Amino acid sequence: MLLQIIYLIAISAEAMTGALSAGRRRMDLFGVVIIASVTALGGGSLRDIVLGHYPLGWVKHPEYLAYTVCAAIAATFLAKKLHYLRRAFLWLDALGLIAFTLIGCAVAREGGHAPVIVVIAGMLTGAFGGVLRDVLCNEIPLVFQRELYAVISLLTGVAYLLMLRLGVAENLSVLLCLGGGFAFRLLAIRYEWEMPKFVYQ
């Protein structure tokens, strides 16, 4: 239930960030809604396609799409004031990354997949909505050039599986990973922790 509430908050926040990216590219309202939907729901859809998990999450729960569209449209009206909420968006994005990761891991685990697939499914859910957004906006995905993001998603998935393997109750594992992953992401933002870069000229 906790993850579900966080998920709804996260897809709304991600939809708004997607809408703002579309606005920076001067897209029309249809483009704004598409980019917002891809940002919020693309990671989970990609995971479901890879795992053969049908129907897709937003097809089974159309209300997710409704939340996304409403958030995208709201962002177009509130755009001039949203820059004041930049820190709040960073926090929501960090929370969304971890929540999406844990939800993705849970879906793959329920499907009986191997641990490595469970971790990858979590990372796809958590990080790849933003990748798809940036590709459609003709930008280098931020995941590949900024502070730790996808790596935190992977580590969160590994920690989740390790706790379950050690006999920690599932709800407690979720809460511990949610708190730990969230804190790790905020620290990565604060101190600008990054993966080593490959520079070739």
**Lowest-pLDDT range, 95-104, 116-125, 142-151?**
142-151
Section 155-178 average pLDDT: 95
Q: Are 72 and 36 in contact (CB under 8 A)?
A: yes
CA separation for the pair 127, 104 (Å, rounded): 11
**140 Rama class: left (phi>0) / alpha (psi -120 to 50) / beta:** beta
**Structure tokens given for 50:** 């890879």
Q: What percent of the chain has pLDDT over 90?
A: 63
Q: At what angle do helices 86-110 and 170-191 cross, to 10 degrees?
A: 140
Q: DSSP 3-state helix, strand, coil percentages of the chain (rounded to 5)?
A: 80, 0, 20
pLDDT, residue 148, reads 87
Q: At what angle do helices 150-165 and 115-136 cross, to 10 degrees?
A: 160
**Structure tokens given for 121:** 């499914």
**159: Cβ contacts below 8 Å, ≥ 6 apart:** 176, 177, 180, 181
> Which one is predicted more confidently, 195 or 42?
42
pLDDT in tens, 30-64: 999 999 999 999 999 999 999 999 999 999 999 99
Q: At what angle do helices 86-110 and 150-165 cross, to 10 degrees?
A: 40
pLDDT in tens, 104-138: 999 999 999 999 999 999 999 999 998 999 999 99
Q: What are phi and psi of 147, to 5 degrees?
A: -60, 170
pLDDT mean across residues, the chain? 90
**Lowest-pLDDT range, 99-103, 143-147, 181-185?**
143-147
CA separation for the pair 201, 181 (Å, rounded): 35
What does the DSSP 8-state code read for residue 137?
A: T
CA atoms within 13 A on the CB side of 122: 34
> Which one is predicted more confidently, 9 or 173?
173
pLDDT, residue 1, reads 67
